[in-house]
Amino acid sequence: MPDKEEKDESVAVGEGQPPPDAAAEAVASSEPARNPNMKWYIIHAYSGFERKVRESLESRVQAFGLQNKIGKVLIPTESVTEVRGGKKYTSERMFYPGYVLVEMDMDDHVWHVVKSTPRVTGFVGTGQQPTPLSDEEVNHIVYKVADSREKPKLKVKFEKGETVRIGEGPFATFTGIVDDVNEDRETLKVMVTIFGRSTPVELEFGQVEKVA
């Protein structure tokens, strides 16, 4: 009879257990759904304390159970590369010092929780009424943040008439004179002497370094 006992035991263990698909659905349904009423707002913070404000806000969301009313807290930053001593150093720089973006479903309680956060001085808006960002403004800021991290900006100033040394490309080790600077595209037009003739060469900021 041992076979029958083992069979009965296996049936008992399996009883009352939902099929795998049902268990997965139960786990998924336990996750909080995203609040469709959330919009992005800008708050003023003491300059230099933006990260402290973000940490405080995130702690208050947990403490007050406001996960469904307050979403992401964003400090718009960009990656900036400095060239010092011929080496590149990348760091984060804020787009808008003194401002923090908060995604929230605004009501009186949420307004008070955010407004009373240490080092927050208020909301950006007309009068006492906070004004949410438009979708276009949100896309512009968020896209700008993502794009800057993919392609860091070079924090270096070039001026027309100064001498630079080319570090990359077919003209590496050549020196030339800056003839034009395009800050937006981060490019230079450098006049390089090739075979006795002065020839314009377009280069990116990162391809050259100043000659002391």
pLDDT tens-place string over residues 175-193: 999 999 987 788 899 999 8
Confidence of residue 8 (pLDDT cuts 50, 70, 90): very low
pLDDT in tens, 81-117: 766 666 677 777 777 788 899 999 999 999 999 999 9
Distance (Å, whole) CA 21 – CA 172: 62
Tell me the C-alpha distance between 8 and 11, whole Å.
5
Domain 163-210 class, CATH top level: mainly beta
Q: What is the pLDDT of residue 20?
A: 44
Q: Which of 148, 67, 56, 65 is nearest to 103 (CA)?
A: 67
Taking residue 123's Cβ as centre, other Cβ atoms within 10 Å add up to 19
Q: What is the pLDDT of residues 27-54, one digit of tens each?
A: 333 344 578 889 999 899 998 899 999 9
Residue spans in the chain of domains classed CATH 2.30.30.30: 163-210
Query: Where, residue-wise, is CATH 3.30.70.940 in the chain?
Result: 39-154
Q: What is the pLDDT of residues 117-154, one digit of tens each?
A: 999 998 987 666 788 988 888 777 766 665 655 665 55
Nearest-angstrom CA–CA distance, 172 and 168: 5
DSSP 131: -
DSSP 144-195: HHHHHHHSPEE-----TT-EEEE-SSTTTT-EEEEEEEETTTTEEEEEEEET
**With contact defined as beta carbons under 8 Å apart, do 113 and 41 qualify?**
no
Which CATH number applies to 39-154? 3.30.70.940
